[in-house]
Amino acid sequence: MTALTLSTAGAATLRADVLVVGVAKSPQGGKGLVVAPGAEAVDAAFDGKLATVLETLGASGAEGEVTKVPSPSGLKAPVVLAVGLGTAPEKDDTYTAETLRRAAGSAARALFGTKKAAFALPVEAVEDAEAIAEGALLGAYAFTAYQTAGKDGKADKDTKGPLAEVILLGAKPRDKAYKAAIERALALAEEINRARDLVNTPPNDLTPEAFAAIATAAGKENGIKVQVLDEKALTKGGYGGILGVGSGSANPPRLVRLAYTHPKAEKTLALVGKGITYDSGGISLKPAGHNETMKCDMSGAAAVFAAVVTAARLRLRVNVTGWLALAENMPSGSAVRPGDVLRMYSGKTVEVLNTDAEGRLVLADALTRASEENPDAIVDVATLTGAMVLALGNRTFGIMANDDAFRTSVHEIAEEVGEQSWPMPLPAELRKGMDSPTADIANMGERMGGGLVAGLFLKEFVGEGITWAHLDIAGPAFNEGGPFGYTPKGGTGSSVRTLVKLAERTAAGDLG
Ligand code: BES
Ligand code: MN
Ligand code: ZN
C-alpha cells in the first residue's frame, strides 16, 4: 500500500513530484478563491497569486475539484495540484475533518501514476492530520488483482498504479499525539482497503471457505484467536439458519469467530457481520439487473473483520469479538425452498417464505451465538435490504437498535468519523406481519418498511437484556457510480470507521 511519512520540511524546498494544496471559495460575501492555510510558502512562490492563477484556469474551489499547475522556479516540486475544499470557513472556524478527508482522497485519486506527493493542506489539530492521512490512503486505492494487462511486460496505459508515497506537511513528527494519530490512520486505512478487496473479489474465488481461510491467516498475524465452524460443526451445533441458506450452494457455509482480547479490558464488544459471498436470491431468484453486484453481500462481514483486526493492531483496551456468518445463497436441488421451515440455533422455527431474505437467517444464528457470551453490546452490520436503499439512498446507512441511547451513540460516532447514517425505528406493529401459520416466525413480513421488518426479525434473536444495534449498509457498501472523495467505485469499506471508533469509545468507558 501507499507509504505515509510526516515531514517538517518547508513546502517550497521539499523534493516531491507533486505538491497538494487546498483552494476554497471565499466565505460568504467575499469574491473569488482563497488558498487554504498550509500552502503559504507555495503561494509565496507564485508571488501571492496562486488563487488568481487557479481562477484563470477555471478553478471554482468546489469540493473534489482538482486543478494542476506547473510550479514556478521557487518550488522544488514540478507540479502543484490544487484540490477544492468548498466554501472556506468563516474567520475563527476551521475546515471540518471530513472536508479534509474528502479533499485528500480526491487529490490522491487524481495522482494515480505519481510516485511521491506532499500534502500541504490545513492542519490545525491532530484530527486534521489524521483525516488527511486517512483520505489520501483511502483515495489511493485500486483493485487490480484480476487485471492481467501490463503484468506480462506489455505496455498498458491503463495500469497506472496508485500514488506510492504520501508526505504529510504541517504535522509534528515528534509529537506523540501526531505519531499515534498517523499510526491509527495507517492501520485503519489498510484494513478498510483490505475490506474493499474482499468485497471486490469475485464470488467464484471468495467462497465462505476462502473467506474463513483469509480470516484465519490474518488472525494469526495479529494475535487474534480464530475459530471456524465448518458445515459439519454447524450441523452438530444446530445452526439451521446458516445451514439452510448455504444448502443450495456447492460452497458450504462457515461461521467464523474472531476474538481480540486485551488483558486489562473491562468491556466486550461483539460485532456480527452478514457474509453472503454471493446472493442470487436462491429459489426466489433475483431477476437480471439485480444480481450483478451481489458479490457485495458479504460487506458486513468484511467490515467486522476489518474492525477486529484494526482493534488488534491498535491494541485497544477492550475485547472485540467478531462473528462472520458466511454462506452462499444459490438455487439448486438441495436449496432451501419457500415454504420450508428451519430450526434455528436459538431453537426457534422460521418459515422461509422468500429465500432472498437470507441475510436475516444467517445473522439470526450468529446473533444468538454471540449473545451466549453475554457481551456488553452487540452490533451487527449487513447489506440487508433494498428497502433501506430506497429510504436512505446510496451513501447513508440505517441504524436500528433495542436501546435508544445506544442508537444515538452509534449515530453520533458515525457522524464524527465522517460516515453518513440515520437512526431508524423498530415499530412493534410491523412484527405481526411476520406471523407464520406453521412456524414461530416467517422470514418476511409487510413490504412497506421492509428494512425495519428485517430489523424486527433480528431483534428476536438477540439475547435477553443485551444492548444491540443493527446497521443496514445495503446502500453505501458498494459504489456503483463514479468514485468521489476517498470513495472508490465498488467496495467502499462502509462502517469500519464507525465500528473502530465504537470500540475505542467502549475501551475508554464512554458507553454504557
Ligand atoms: N442482499 C439483499 C439486499 C440488498 C439489496 C443489498 C440491494 C444490496 C443492494 C438481501 O438479501 C435481499 O435480497 N433482501 C430482500 C428482502 C425481501 C425478499 C424481503 C430485498 O430487500 O428485496
Ligand atoms: Mn437476498
Ligand atoms: Zn442478501
By the 10 Å C-beta count (0-12 exposed, 13-18 middle, 19+ buried), 93 is classed as: exposed
- Report the pLDDT value the prediction gives residue 157, as an integer from 0 to 100: 52
Which residues make up the CATH 3.40.630.10 domain(s) of the chain? 196-507
Please indicate whether residue 313 is annotated as part of the active site.
no
Ligand 1 touching residue 37 (CB < 6 A): no
Instruction: Report d(CA 329, CA 247) in Å as an integer.
Output: 8
Residues of the chain with CATH 3.40.220.10: 3-174
CATH class, 3-174 region: alpha beta
- H/E element holding 369? helix 359-371
Q: What is the pLDDT of residues 437-482, one digit of tens each?
A: 999 999 999 999 999 999 999 999 999 999 999 999 999 999 999 9
Q: Is 383 in the pocket of ligand 1 (CB under 6 A)?
A: yes
Contact of 49 with 181, CB cutoff 8 Å: no
Closest ligand relative to 472 C-alpha: 1
Confidence check: pLDDT of 151 > 80 = no
Whole-structure pTM value: 0.97
Which cell numbers hold the place of 436?
A: 407464520
CA dist 344 and 363 (Å) reads: 11
Helix ranges (H only) for 114-207 are 126-139, 176-200
Phi, psi of 482 (to 5 degrees): -75, 160
Question: Across all residues in the chain, what is the average pLDDT?
Answer: 96
Q: Note the pLDDT tens digit of each residue in 106-115.
A: 999 999 999 9
Is the confidence at residue 339, as pLDDT, over 70? yes
CA of 279 to the centre of ligand 1 (A): 9
> CA 214, 215, 219, 220 torsion: positive or negative?
negative
pLDDT per residue as tens digits for the range 88-107: 999 889 999 999 999 999 99
Whether 25 sits among the annotated catalytic residues: the reply is: no
Q: In 10 A of CB 251, how many CB atoms?
A: 19
Each residue's pLDDT tens digit, 422-437:
999 999 999 999 999 9
DSSP 3-state assignment of 459?
helix
Q: pLDDT tens, 196-237?
A: 999 999 999 999 999 999 999 999 999 999 999 999 999 999
**Which of left, alpha, beta for 384 (phi over 0: left; psi -120 to 50: alpha)?**
alpha
- Which three-class secondary structure state does DSSP give residue 200? helix
Query: What DSSP line would sit under 49-114, residue for residue?
Result: -HHHHHHHTT----TT-EEEEEPPTT-SSSEEEEEEEEEPPPTT----HHHHHHHHHHHHHTTTT-
**CB of 353 closer than 6 A to ligand 1?**
no
CATH topology of domain 196-507: Aminopeptidase (3.40.630)
How far apart are alpha carbons 507 and 510 in whole angstroms?
8
pLDDT digits (tens, 9 = 90+) for 478-490: 999 999 999 999 9
| Ligand 1 pocket mutation, candidates 384, 397, 447, 456, criterion most atoms within 8 A of CB | 384
Radius of gyration of the chain (CA): 24
What is the spatial distance between Cα 346 and Cα 240, in angstroms, rounded to a whole number?
9
